[in-house]
Structure 1
C-alpha cells in the first residue's frame, strides 16, 4: 500500500476569510475548488511537501516550553516551513492571525512562532537555520530507521514484471540525473533505462545476497548478485531520498564467471 498525499481537512465557519488568508496571504496555491448544492464550497490548496510529525506527551511538553509563552499545544497543530519566520509572522498578524508566541530560536536550530489563524487553527511557523546534514550530527538525532528496508523493497520492486508495465511508477523511481552501466558495459541515462525497462519484459531474476547500507543521510547503497538463466552479475545501486521520495540515481552491473 502506498500513500501519496497527506491532506488536512478544516471546517471554516467564515470560509471566504479563511480562503483569503491561506491562499492570498500565506501563499498556498489553489489546486482545485468545487461548488455544490446548498452553497457547499470547498477549495484544495497546495501546501507543498507534507510530513506527519508524531510526538509523545513528553516531547509536546518540551516543545511548548521552548516554542511558546505558555500556549499549550492542541492534539493536532499545523506547522508551515517558511523562509523568514519573523516577516511571515508580521504578515499573517496583519491579515487577522493572533500571535500567541513570538519568533524564537529553538535548541534544534529553527526559528519558530505560534499563531491562532482563521478557521480557529493553531499554527506553528518554522524557519530552518541549519541543514539536515548539520542537524544529523547533533546528539539524539537520527534519520528514519526504516530507510534501508524501504530502499531494499524498492530494489526488489524494480525486478518485478508489474513495475515494467507501470510507466508512471518507473518515472517516479528513476531519478532524472540517473546514470548507469549494465553488465554488458552499456551506459544508460534516465530516458534510455526507463524506455528499456518498459519495453522489454524482464527475464526471471534470482536476487542473491541482497544488502543495503546507509552511507550518508538520505543515501543508501544496495548490493546484490543477479542470476538470470546461466548469466550472473554483481550489482550495485545508489538510491537518494529526494523531496518526493526515494529515487535510483546510479546502477552498475559487473558480470561474474
Structure 2
C-alpha cells in the first residue's frame, strides 16, 4: 500500500463505525470491562475541551458520566492507513438532559490486534460556527 490513505472496504467501514458507535452507548460507557476491551493499551485522547486523557483516565471517568448524556453522530468516513491501522472521522454532539450541544469533529485511530480492533487515539475539535 502506498503512503496515502485509502477508503476502507464496506465491511471494514461498517465494523469500525459499529465499534465507534459502541463507545457512544451508555451501557458500554458505564461498563469498565467493555470499555477496556475497546481501548488499546496505548490509548490517548485530546478531548474537545482541549484536555488530554490516557487509558486509565478514560476508564476511570467514562463510567461516572451522567446517564442522561446521549451522543448523536453522523457523516462517518473510514480510511485504511495501513493493513492494521484505520482512521474513523465523523461529527457528533452530546444531548444533555435533552438539549443538543454544539457539533464536534472527531477522528479516531483504530489498531488491529489478533483479537480485533481497538481504538488507540481519539481527538475531538469543536466545529467552526
TM-score by length of 2: 0.81
Higher normalized strand content (fraction of residues): 2
Structure 2: unaligned runs, 5 residues or longer: 3-7, 95-99
Structure 1 equivalent of residue 102 of structure 2:
231
Task: Note the C-alpha offset of 1:165.
Answer: 2.5
User: How far apart, CA to CA, are the structure 1 residues paired with 2:103 and 2:9?
Assistant: 33
Match for residue 22 of structure 2 among 137, 149, 157: 157
Match for residue 188 of structure 1 among 53, 57, 61: 53
Task: Note the C-alpha offset of 1:147.
Answer: 2.4
Are 2:43 and 2:119, in contact at CA under 8 Å, matched by a contact in 1?
A: yes
Structure 2 equivalent of residue 240 of structure 1:
111
Task: Give runs of aligned pairs for residues 1-257 of structure 1, distance below 5 A.
Answer: 146-201=11-66, 203-228=69-94, 229-256=100-127, 257=129
- 1:46-97 residue CA offsets vs partner (Å, 9 max, x unmatched): xxxxxxxxxxxxxxxxxxxxxxxxxxxxxxxxxxxxxxxxxxxxxxxxxxxx
Change (3 A) 1:199 1:211: same
Q: Which has the higher contact order (CA 8 A, sep 6+)?
A: 2
User: How far apart, CA to CA, are the structure 2 residues paired with 1:227 and 1:166?
Assistant: 21
For the aligned residue pairs, the C-alpha RMSD in angstroms reads 2.1
Structure 1: unaligned runs, 5 residues or longer: 1-135, 138-142
Larger Rg: 1
How many pairs are equivalent?
A: 117
Task: Note the C-alpha offset of 1:144.
Answer: 8.3
User: How far apart, CA to CA, are the structure 2 residues paired with 1:232 and 1:144?
Assistant: 27
1:185 match: secondary structure: coil
